[in-house]
Structure 1
Amino acid sequence: MMPIDDVVLNFNPGSLMILNVVLAAIMLGIALDTSVDDFRRALTKPKAMAVGIAAQFLLLPAVTFLLTLILSPAPSVALGMILVACCPPGNISNVLTHRAGGDVALSVSMTAVSNVFAIFLMPLNLAFWGSRRPETDALLQSVNLNALEMVAQIALIIGVPFVLGIWAAQKFPEIAAKAQPWVKNGSLVALLIFIVAGVSGNASYFVDYIGVVLLAVFLHDTVALALGYFCGAVTGLNEYSRRAVSFEVGIRNAGLGLGLVFTFFDGLGGMAVVAGWWGIWDIIAGLALATIWSKRRARKAVPA
């Protein structure tokens, strides 16, 4: 069995285009359920927003880097973990926050703001933390990663549908309200089908190497969820807000990461397996935690 760093998953250009369309549809679904008021509402909870944004874009990549030093996985696995940590949250975080009895308004506004920040901060974080280890830096150098090119790609997948969705929601609110559940749920189902199909099409690789990434993804996802909750706790946020921040930090848009792996890293084995498995495990772990929290009512007494 060849080293995971030498494995390249099978993925044709047509499949990549489909994935990008699905990811854009996911962002459109988020935007159709987002309004300018969500950004205004974010300003009414500056503390909670600051905690969530800092935890996502400053602490999570740094903690992930430390985790790669502790676990010492193959370089492509380590870079895959860093890439996922740099991704923005997916809109499943809003669903999980609602199920957990958390602050859905905060979750929605934070998802919106975080995705805007991610257009610029995701490439910078990946380039910075990926270059901290010689092994992962070598992978970045081998593909001549261009931060501006990645910004353009992320802007195309996130920015364009996001702006169009918000515009449509403002201009045609009734149509947007009817279309939003179909776009949101349909795109999530399409992404899940895509990931499952991708895993099936590369089943031998996933079977051979899943053991390499199973523990890494399990620990990484647990750390991400715990980090969001811990940051909310130490900064004095109430339980209602902590649950929202926990999911905003812990639930990453691994589908976007997977698309970037195939766009910029030619389907590099360790990165693709991490992103693919994270996209599945993230939902399983998130649902389990949300179900546990739903049994205990969150208090809203302390302002966030």
Structure 2
Amino acid sequence: MGSASIIASLPFALAVVMLGLGLGLTVDDFRRVGRHPKAAVVALLCQLVLLPLICFGLVLAFRLPPELAVGMLLIAASPGGPTANLFSHLFGGDVALNVSLTAINSGLVVVTLPIVVNLSAGYFLPGSTGIGLQFGKVVQVFVIVVVPVVAGMLLRARAPRMAQWLNRPVRALSVVVLVAVISAVLYGERANLAGYFVSVGLAVVVFNIVSLLVGYAVPRLAGVDHRAAVAAGFEIGIHNTAFTITVALSPALMNNAEMAIPGAVYGIVMFFTAVAFGWLVARRRAEEPVPGEPTPVGLG
């Protein structure tokens, strides 16, 4: 399949990814936030408010070209996904919180994404026409994102055996979609890749590392326990880059290959930084004294 064919099928492919996300969600995942609201509220404030502001500051500091700047803010506005849940599980995070945050963000993105995209496009590309997400495009985002998630949840509730049978192949397909869209972007822009990586590579790495650290540190400062903070760190630092690239590339949405470059680079970088972050927080946890135990001699 050529890159043009991949781009044309992106909305359908992303709908499959979001269906897979829905297969892992239940109504109780939303109710859980009401039972443990503090960690969720702090994480959501970081995700929805703090992260776009940090990204905007970095974009200005690195003086990125306008399309790459908007592409960076697309990442900031994108929700987490199954990959964040996986890393949280591997490094001792509260996976239930990850699932709840992913569920909420997947619904809120229909509102938050157009706000961030339109504000950033208006700032960085003030003279461009057709840039941004108008009402019709917001409806398309809703259809691509929320409808498949709800369909997956209904399938899990009404036909749990079928949902369980579909879960593994759909998750595998999600990985294939991510690899395919990144490959399509990199191949389509191969003539400009060196310049793009010079322009945006360092900004992406810095933003990814800052996102992970903010996602962990802010909840901890707010009194959230270690496991929930680890979950928040991964949820805020690991984005659904397939979603980001789809919004940038889709002819029905942004239709801009250059805006997809930051998402493609982020989709590669985040796996390495996530492992390093997971190792650091796991090590930090191991070094923390257990409550009730005496402090070892020489360390008090």
Q: 2:261 matched to which residue of 1?
A: 273
Shift of 1:246: 0.6
Task: Give matches, 1:1-304, under 5 Å.
Answer: 12=4, 14-131=5-122, 133=123, 136-138=124-126, 141-263=128-250, 264-269=253-258, 271-295=259-283, 297=285
Q: TM-score by structure 2 length?
A: 0.88
In the alignment, is the contact (CA less than 8 A) between 2:22 and 2:148 conserved in 1?
yes
- Tell me how many residue pairs correspond in the alignment: 286
Map Cα deviations across residues 173-222 of structure 1 (whole Å, 9 max, x no partner).
Answer: 12212211221122223321331243134322213321111111111111
CA distance in 2, matches of 1:243, 1:292: 11
Does the 8 A contact of 2:185 with 2:260 survive in 1? no
Whole-Å Cα distance in 2 between the matches of residues 206 and 103 of structure 1? 38
Q: Quick one: distance in 2 between partners of 1:69 and 1:145?
A: 19
Contact 2:121/2:131 (8 A) holds in 1 = no
Query: What is the CA deviation profile of residues 132-153 of structure 1, one whole-angstrom value per residue up to 9, with x for unaligned ones?
Result: x3xx1426x4324343123212
SS of 1:138's equivalent in the other structure is: coil
Task: Tell me whether 171-180 or 260-269 shows the greater mean CA deviation.
Answer: 260-269
CA distance in 1, matches of 2:153, 2:91: 26
Please give the alpha-carbon distance, in whole angstroms, between the structure 1 residues aligned to 2:248 and 2:151: 26
Shift of 1:28: 1.1
**Do the aligned partners of residues 117 and 150 (structure 1) sit closer, same or farther apart at CA in structure 2, a change above 3 Å counting?**
same
The one-letter code matched in structure 2 to 1:34 is L
Deviations 1:120-174 (A, max 9, x none): 111112223443x3xx1426x4324343123212112211110100000000112
Deviates more, 1:94-103 or 1:190-199: 190-199
Indicate conservation of the 8 Å contact 2:77/2:116, yes or no.
yes
Letter of the structure 1 residue corresponding to residue 256 of structure 2: G
Quick check: which has more Rg, 1 or 2?
A: 2
Q: Given that residues 101 and 293 in structure 1 are in contact (C-alpha distance below 8 angstroms), is that contact kept between their aligned partners in structure 2?
A: no
| CA separation of 1:190 and 1:272: change in aligned 2, threshold 3 A | closer
2: CA distance between counterparts of 1:168 and 1:296? 40
* C-alpha spacing 1:68/1:190, structure 2 compared with 1 (3 Å): closer
Q: CA RMSD in A?
A: 2.2
Deviates further, 238-247 or 150-159: 150-159
Please state how far the C-alpha of 1:104 moved relative to its aligned partner.
0.6
C-alpha change, 1:32 and 1:145, in structure 2 (3 Å) is same
Q: Which sits farther off after the overlay, 102-111 or 144-153?
A: 144-153
Q: Do the aligned partners of 1:96 and 1:247 also contact (CA within 8 Å) in 2?
A: yes
Q: Displaced runs of 4+ in structure 1, greater than 4 A?
A: 294-299
Question: Can you give the 5+ residue segments of structure 1 that lack an aligned partner in the other structure?
Answer: 1-9
The verdict on how the C-alpha distance between 1:29 and 1:291 changes in structure 2, with shifts beyond 3 A counting, is farther
Residues 1:149 and 1:107: Cα distance change in structure 2 (over 3 Å): same
Measured in 2, the distance between the counterparts of 1:53 and 1:125 equals 15
- SS, match of residue 142 in structure 1: coil
Q: What amino acid does structure 1 have at the position aligned with 2:25?
A: T
- Give the TM-score normalised by the residue count of structure 1: 0.87
